[in-house]
C-alpha cells in the first residue's frame, strides 16, 4: 500500500490509535509536536489518506494486529518521553 502514497503536505492527529493505524498502513510518520498538554502525531498528507481514515472509522480497515499493537506501544512511549 505504501507505494501508492504520495506526499502532499502534513496531516496531524492527536488520536493515538488512528496514528498507529496510519503508521502500519504505510503513511510516512514525520514527527510529533506538543501544544499545551496534547501531543500531535504528524504524517505526510497523502493521496489515499482520506480513504484510510474512512476505513478506520467504519471498522473496515485491514492491518496486522501485532504491528498495530507495537505501534500503539511505540507512540505511547514517544508521548511520555518528552
C-alpha cell at 30: 514525520
The pLDDT value recorded for residue 8 is: 66
Query: What three-state secondary structure class fits 31?
Result: strand
Question: In the predicted model, is pLDDT for residue 4 greater than 60?
Answer: no
User: How many domains is the chain built from?
Assistant: 1
| % of the chain surpassing 70 pLDDT | 89
39-70 pLDDT, tens digit each: 999 999 878 889 999 999 999 998 999 999 99
Give the CA dihedral 15, 21, 25, 26, nearest 10 degrees. Answer: 50
Phi, psi of 9, rounded to the nearest 5 degrees: 125, -160
- Strand positions, DSSP E, 2-78: 7-13, 29-35, 38-46
| Mean pLDDT of all residues in 11-31 | 95
pTM for the model stands at 0.84
What domain range is 48 assigned to? 2-81
The pLDDT value recorded for residue 67 is: 96
Amino acid at each position: 500500500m505504501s507505494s501508492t502514497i504520495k506526499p502532499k503536505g502534513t496531516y496531524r492527529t492527536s488520536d493515538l490509535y488512528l496514528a498507529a493505524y496510519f503508521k502500519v498502513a504505510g503513511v510516512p510518520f514525520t514527527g510529533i509536536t506538543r501544544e499545551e498538554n496534547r501531543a500531535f502525531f504528524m504524517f505526510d498528507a497523502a493521496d489515499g489518506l482520506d480513504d484510510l481514515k474512512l476505513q478506520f472509522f467504519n471498522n473496515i480497515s485491514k492491518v496486522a494486529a501485532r504491528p498495530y499493537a507495537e505501534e500503539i506501544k511505540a507512540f505511547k512511549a514517544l508521548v511520555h518521553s518528552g
